[in-house]
Amino acid sequence: MSKEIKLNNLTETVQLFKIFSDLTRLRIIDLLYSGEHAVQAIADELDTSQSAISHQLKLLRDMNVVKTRKAGKQVIYRLRDSHIKEIFLIGYSHATECEI
């Protein structure tokens, strides 16, 4: 494996881990893990402003972490694939099983 390829792969890996490296984003992912939610429902549940949630959801959308569907005035978010769920669960279990 060439050095350049390897560096690109590592850069992509960094991007992946950055998704999970913010508490608000991780709480959103954790909440969506239990099923789809509308924006305001997420904001209420996490006791965070709708704007802050919307900004983070845009990031998650751009990173292809979440999908949306419209339901009237609401936009319902859900996790895109089990790929993301798996990484989240592995990190979560590792972090909770033992001290870092």
71 binding a second copy? (CB under 8 A): no
Which among DNA, a second copy, none contacts residue 91 (Cβ within 5 to 8 A by kind)?
a second copy
- Binding-site residue total for a second copy (CB under 8 A)? 35
Question: Could you tell me if 85 and 92 are in contact, meaning their C-beta atoms sit under 8 angstroms apart?
Answer: no
**Span 24-63, contacts to DNA by CB under 7 A:** 24-25, 38-41, 48-52, 54-59
Task: Give the containing element (helix H, strand E) for 67.
Answer: strand 66-71
83, 88, 76, 81: which is closest to 30 by C-alpha? 88
**Span 29-58, contacts to a second copy by CB under 8 A:** 30
In sign, the C-alpha dihedral spanning 76, 31, 67, 63 is positive
Which among a second copy, DNA, none contacts residue 87 (Cβ within 5 to 8 A by kind)?
a second copy
11 binding DNA? (CB under 7 A): no
**Distance of closest approach, residue 78 Cβ to DNA, in angstroms:** 13
CB neighbour burial string for 22-37, b if at least 16 within 10 angstroms, e if fewer:
eeebebbbebbeeebb
Position among 73, 82, 97, 98 found at the interface with DNA (CB under 7 A) = 73
Q: Which two tokens stand for residue 82?
A: 């089990």
